[in-house]
Homo-oligomer: A and B are copies of this chain.
Amino acid sequence: MQAEQVDARRAVEELKELADLTGGPDGARRVAWTDEWAKAREWLRGKLEEIDGVTEIQTDQAGNLWATAPGESEKTVLLGGHIDSVPNGGWLDGCLNTIAALEVMRVLAPQQRPVTLRLVDWADEEGARFGRSLFGSGAAAGTLKPDDVRGLKDRDGVALPDALAEHGVDLDRVNEAGRQLENAVAYLELHIEQGPVLERMNLPLGAVLGTFGVKRHVVRFTGQHAHSGSTPMDVRRDAFIAAARSAIAFRDDAASRDDVRATTGFVNVRPAIVTAFNGWCEMSLDQRALDAGVLADMLAKAKEASERIAEEEGVSVEWEKVWEIEPIPFDEELIAFAEEACNEVSGSSHRLPSGPLHDAAEMARLMPTVMLFVKSLRGLSHTKDEDTPEEDLEMSVQALHRLAVRTMEWAKK
């Protein structure tokens, strides 16, 4: 099995071919459970059918597309991606994963292999139409429960179960997709970074450490609004000033730590008029870290800071949890393989966490998993302006190939 056999240029040309087929001047339009998505899938299926050594192509009960190249063992290494996109999306997220895996299958499927290799094109990673991301991988992993999503509707009022049915999927049976994972021993995924880290370091490739844990809260401050003219500064109970000080404390704490995030998103004040200071302010806080202990400490420090500041400003503060997910670290051995693959192809590598979630996070709950990142220009994604230099894309395909080869050797043991 030689790395040089992969035709990375062909993969880039196929990305463009897909963009011509299901994109345009307004960006990609491969939203899951639509005709354009089905068209992209048909295109992919046609490519897979031409590969010597791929003996079976099937769609599972959750709508995931599988292509299997049997090896000497039933133990299976998975190459995963998603061909669906957000509306007006870019040409790389997430079809790069799928098309790179297609090219890797082309090289490896005809060869003798110690273990089985499967490509999976997950259904509806983005959740762009119904708001539930990681649909297909979550269904296979068992974290998506049919009853939790049964009531979802799209903007036109179409119910999720009806949209699924149009594509041959019965919501009540989606968890049966889990059977596809029975022999899986490793999961590999390539994705654009969607952030600025690799570009700023002038590196094409990186090995991903895992996906961040997230703690998301609404923080509310309550004081007492009063007239901006008649109320001296020292008697004010200004909820916005308390919130502003807290937002800065949250940011400064995150900036002082190694590779974590703290983000103030929405900010609402009342009465929100020019002639009064605000008696009420709420804002969202989204905290992320790869280490659960660090994340818990960030939250504790943020609460402490907000309570100290609230007391100093004469206001009260309350925290409401909105959502959370634990950090999902990837496999140490596979991270090392990914790093080696990046080094071999590009002469360098960088370990970095993933800010956004990926299907890999669902798989990492079940088996050794790793991702490769390739540079994103200006950190842009989910827009038609999303881009990556073609030479970097080529290197990413080569790195996925080398990572797959190494992982199969490891899986044999």
A residues contacting B by CB (< 8 A) are 193-197, 200, 212, 214, 216, 226-235, 238, 240-241, 243-245, 247-248, 251, 254-255, 259-267, 269, 272-278, 281, 284, 286, 288, 322, 354-357, 379, 381
The answer to whether B248 touches A355 (Cβ under 8 A) is no
- Which residue of A227, A260, A356 has the most chain B CB atoms within 10 A of its CB atom? A227
The answer to whether A265 touches B275 (Cβ under 8 A) is yes
Q: Which of B226, B241, B286 contacts A228 (CB 8 A)?
A: B286
The answer to whether B240 touches A247 (Cβ under 8 A) is yes
The answer to whether A275 touches B267 (Cβ under 8 A) is no
How many angstroms from the CA of A243 to the CA of B241 in the assembled complex?
A: 11
The answer to whether A214 touches B229 (Cβ under 8 A) is yes
The answer to whether A254 touches B274 (Cβ under 8 A) is no
With A194-B227, A356-B230 already in contact, the answer to whether A273 and B262 are too (CB < 8 A) is no
With A263-B276, A266-B272 already in contact, the answer to whether A241 and B235 are too (CB < 8 A) is no
With A234-B255, A251-B233, A269-B267 already in contact, the answer to whether A227 and B195 are too (CB < 8 A) is yes
How many angstroms from the CA of A332 to the CA of B244 in the assembled complex?
A: 41
How many angstroms from the CA of A356 to the CA of B65 in the assembled complex?
A: 69
With A196-B232, A229-B288 already in contact, the answer to whether A278 and B265 are too (CB < 8 A) is yes
How many angstroms from the CA of A238 to the CA of B214 in the assembled complex?
A: 20
Report chain B residues within 8 Å CB of A229.
195, 212, 214, 261, 286, 288, 354-357
How many angstroms from the CA of A402 to the CA of B247 in the assembled complex?
A: 53
Nearest 4 CB-CB pairings of A with B = A229-B355, A195-B230, A230-B355, A244-B244
How many angstroms from the CA of A284 to the CA of B228 in the assembled complex?
A: 12
How many angstroms from the CA of A272 to the CA of B259 in the assembled complex?
A: 23
